[in-house]
Structure 1
Amino acid sequence: MTVEDCVAFAASIGANGIEILPEQNIATFPNVSDAEVGAWQEMVARHGCELTCYDMFLDTKLRRDHVMSDDEQVESIRRDLVLCNRLGIRNMRVLVFVRPDILARCVPYAEELDVHMGVEVHAPWHIEHAWILRTVEEADRLGTRHLGLLPDMGIFMKHYPPVWRARFEREGACPEIAQFIVDQHEAKIMAEYTIYEVAVKLKGNPTEVRMAETLRHSPYSNPKRIRDYIPYFRHIQAKFYEMTPDARDPSLAYDEVIPELIAGGWDGYLSSEYEGNRWVQDVEAVDSREQVRRQHVMFERLLGETGRETA
Structure 2
Amino acid sequence: MSKIKTCVSLYSLQDEYLNKRMSLEDIFKFLADNTVEGIEFLPDQMMPNAPHPSEETLAEWDRLVSSYNMRPVIADVFLNTNLYKNRELTPKECVDLLIDEIKLANRLGIRLIRLVSMVPAFVIEPLLPYAEKYNVTLALEIHAGLSFDVPKTQEFIKEMKRLNSPYVGLVIDAGIFCKRLPRVMANYCQQHLGTNQEVINYVNNIFAQGTDPRKVIIEHNGFPDDLKKLLKSDADHFFAHFADGYENEPYSILDEYMPYIKHFHFKLFEMIESGEEYSIDYKGLLKYLHEKGYDGYVSTEYEGNRWVLPGNPMEEKEQVLAHQALIRSVIKELEEQEVY
Instruction: Give the TM-score taking structure 1 as reference length.
Output: 0.90
Per-residue CA deviation, residues 153-173 of structure 1 (Å, 9 max, x unaligned), is 111111111111211221222
What is the identity, as a one-letter code, of the residue corresponding to 2:200?
Answer: A
- The structural deviation recorded for 1:281 is 3.5
The 1:64–1:221 alpha-carbon spacing in structure 2 relative to 1, beyond 3 Å, is: same
- The structural deviation recorded for 1:129 is 4.8
Q: Which residue of 1 aligns with 2:196?
A: 174
3-state SS of paired residue (1:273): strand
Q: Which residue of 2 aligns with 1:264?
A: 292
Find the aligned partners of 1:195 and 1:127 in 2 and give their Cα distance: 21
The 10-residue stretch of structure 1 (151-160 or 125-134) with the greater mean CA deviation from structure 2: 125-134
Q: Are the counterparts in 2 of residues 150 and 235 from structure 1 also a CA contact under 8 Å? A: yes
Q: Which residue of 2 aligns with 1:137?
A: 158
The 10-residue stretch of structure 1 (14-23 or 225-234) with the greater mean CA deviation from structure 2: 225-234
The 1:175–1:185 alpha-carbon spacing in structure 2 relative to 1, beyond 3 Å, is: same
Q: How high is the sequence identity, in percent, across the aligned residues?
A: 27
The 10-residue stretch of structure 1 (34-43 or 23-32) with the greater mean CA deviation from structure 2: 34-43
Q: Are the counterparts in 2 of residues 227 and 260 from structure 1 also a CA contact under 8 Å? A: no
Q: Which residue of 1 aligns with 2:3?
A: none
5+ residue gaps, structure 1: 307-311
Match of 1:248 among 256, 262, 276: 276
Match of 2:58 among 33, 37, 46: 37
Q: Which residue of 1 aligns with 2:236?
A: 208
Per-residue CA deviation, residues 132-156 of structure 1 (Å, 9 max, x unaligned), is 3432332232231101111111111
- The structural deviation recorded for 1:91 is 0.4
Per-residue CA deviation, residues 252-285 of structure 1 (Å, 9 max, x unaligned), is 2322211111111112222221111121242411
The 1:199–1:127 alpha-carbon spacing in structure 2 relative to 1, beyond 3 Å, is: closer
Match of 1:112 among 110, 133, 144: 133
- The structural deviation recorded for 1:291 is 0.3
What is the identity, as a one-letter code, of the residue corresponding to 2:34?
Answer: I
- The structural deviation recorded for 1:34 is 4.4
The 10-residue stretch of structure 1 (237-246 or 32-41) with the greater mean CA deviation from structure 2: 32-41
**Which of 1 and 2 has higher RCO (CA within 8 Å, sep 6+)?**
2
Per-residue CA deviation, residues 200-255 of structure 1 (Å, 9 max, x unaligned), is 32353322222222232111122123243222122222211111123211102322
Q: Which residue of 1 aligns with 2:181?
A: 160
Find the aligned partners of 2:88 and 2:146 in 1 and give their Cα distance: 24
What is the identity, as a one-letter code, of the residue corresponding to 2:262?
Answer: R
Q: Which residue of 1 aligns with 2:223?
A: 195
Find the aligned partners of 2:226 and 2:204 in 1 and give their Cα distance: 12
5+ residue gaps, structure 2: 1-21, 335-340
Find the aligned partners of 1:251 and 1:283 in 2 and give their Cα distance: 24
Find the aligned partners of 1:281 and 1:169 in 2 and give their Cα distance: 10
Alignment RMSD, CA only? 2.2
Moved segments of 4+, more than 6 Å: none
- The structural deviation recorded for 1:36 is 3.1
